[in-house]
């Protein structure tokens, strides 16, 4: 945890992954992020998977370091309180529709002259307002049909979905960046801004940034499947003599030479280069074009050594590699990833479970890391936030409790 955003208060009215991720990243860098939920919990409050105490691990981890306000968002008065909090704070992250009670103009109309002009970041499915989620956007992107073994027929091959909701996380990070950009402009101009970010646009622009849009437009056809081979360069999974699998990547000449030396395959590579008239160390494209022949040589090289021997050889030679692990193995056996990684600290969460929990991924090497902060319980900060941000007295807040407007 760092206090780089100390003094910045943000209202978050959201659910699922992308929107809470934007708030999480801001909170981890010191912003006061106030998540506002329906008093019984929002749509994502009890999402799978659950702890023995019934707490959602997804909710518990996407809402760390935030504050929580619980309102009856099915009532007009509860919704008015959320609008007032957004108006007074001047910063909002949400994935509620623009035409809902939490529209940008509706909030801005409630702002006092003393409040900073509203900066709202709204996460959408498609840019035209149609709903979408990460996995439907991914299906539309073309990526699932690019994946799969090389020998699958392009015309009949099934899609291969990824398990990581990558577009959600990229969108969340982009929205945190967009909010801070708009807030920076407001400091200079005094003007607020409505920012809309569509999951579909994050996917489409990412395709374009990687050259994929230009590739299919200029070639007139889809890219062939490449299985586990890295497209356009050298990289693939290989097995040691004991069956352990490794991912090897050689992008630079130095990485390539290191791998060749580690596997003691220099003679075989030289013979192949002479036969093909290429220089694999100098030509990254040649490594991809002739991957079938290269793969056979490297498979034989890896199969001569055990996994422990390969790991030692790869490290000595400066090879870029990683061993394939299950998630449980990765978390419990690879100290670099979790157990020995200083970004993690063991935190006891509100449901009673204690486990390794990350703080901010960005860090200043000159400043000690602070332990990660857990997510709040629903409504843990309601009274404090209503008093500090709306100026309500204890009597007024008590009456709201009595009438079930706040939780």
168 in catalytic set: yes
87 neighbors 110 (Cβ within 8 angstroms): yes
Backbone angles phi, psi at 381, to 5 degrees: -115, 15
| Catalytic entry in 37, 72, 134, 168 | 168
Cβ pair 132, 126 in contact under 8 A:
yes
Separation CA 2–CA 176 (nearest Å): 16
- What CA–CA distances, in Å, run from 19 to 12, 15, 298, 349? 8, 7, 44, 21
Sheet with 245-250, strands from edge to edge, namely 234-239, 245-250, 320-323
Q: Which residues contact 313 (CB under 8 A, 6 or more apart)?
A: 262, 263, 305, 319
DSSP state string for 193-220: EEEEEEHHHHHHHHHHHTTHHHHHHHHS
* Residues 185-206 as b or e (16 or more Cβ within 10 Å = b): ebeeeeebbbbbbbbbbbbbeb
Catalytic residues: 168
């Amino acid at each position: 945890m760092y206090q780089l955003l100390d003094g910045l208060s943000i209202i978050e009215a959201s659910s699922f992954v992308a929107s809470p991720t934007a708030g999480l990243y801001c909170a981890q860098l010191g912003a006061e992020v106030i998540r506002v939920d329906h008093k019984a919990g929002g749509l994502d409050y009890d999402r799978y998977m659950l702890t023995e105490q019934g707490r959602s691990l997804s909710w518990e981890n996407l809402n760390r370091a935030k504050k929580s306000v619980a309102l009856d968002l099915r009532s007009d008065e509860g919704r008015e309180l959320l609008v007032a909090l957004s108006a007074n704070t001047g910063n909002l992250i949400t994935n509620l529709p623009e035409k809902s009670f939490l529209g940008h103009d509706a909030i801005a109309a409630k702002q006092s002259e003393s409040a900073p002009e509203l900066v709202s970041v709204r996460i959408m499915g498609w840019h035209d307002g149609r709903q979408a989620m990460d996995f439907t956007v991914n299906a539309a992107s073309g990526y699932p049909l690019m994946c799969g073994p090389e020998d699958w027929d392009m015309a009949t091959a099934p899609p291969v979905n990824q398990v990581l909701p990558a577009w959600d996380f990229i969108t969340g990070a982009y929205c945190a960046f967009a909010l801070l950009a708009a807030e920076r402009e407001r400091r200079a101009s005094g003007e607020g801004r409505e920012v809309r970010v569509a999951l579909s646009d994050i996917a489409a622009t990412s395709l374009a940034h990687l050259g994929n849009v230009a590739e299919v437009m200029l070639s007139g056809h889809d890219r062939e499947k490449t299985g586990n081979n890295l497209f356009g360069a050298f990289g693939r999974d290989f097995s040691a003599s004991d069956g352990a699998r490794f991912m090897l990547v050689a992008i630079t000449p130095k990485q390539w030479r290191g791998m060749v030396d580690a596997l003691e395959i220099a003679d075989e590579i030289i013979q192949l280069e002479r036969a093909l008239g290429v220089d694999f160390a100098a030509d990254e494209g040649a490594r991809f074009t002739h991957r079938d022949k290269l793969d056979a040589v490297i498979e034989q090289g890896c199969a001569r050594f055990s996994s422990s021997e390969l790991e030692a050889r790869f490290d000595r030679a400066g090879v870029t590699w990683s061993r394939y692990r299950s998630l449980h193995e990765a978390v419990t056996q690879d100290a670099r990833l979790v157990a020995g990684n200083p970004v993690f600290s063991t935190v006891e969460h509100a449901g009673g479970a204690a486990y390794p929990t990350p703080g901010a991924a960005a860090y200043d090497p000159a400043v000690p890391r602070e332990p990660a902060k857990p997510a709040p319980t629903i409504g843990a900060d309601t009274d404090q936030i209503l008093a500090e941000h709306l100026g309500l007295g204890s009597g007024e807040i008590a009456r709201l409790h009595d009438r079930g407007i706040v939780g």
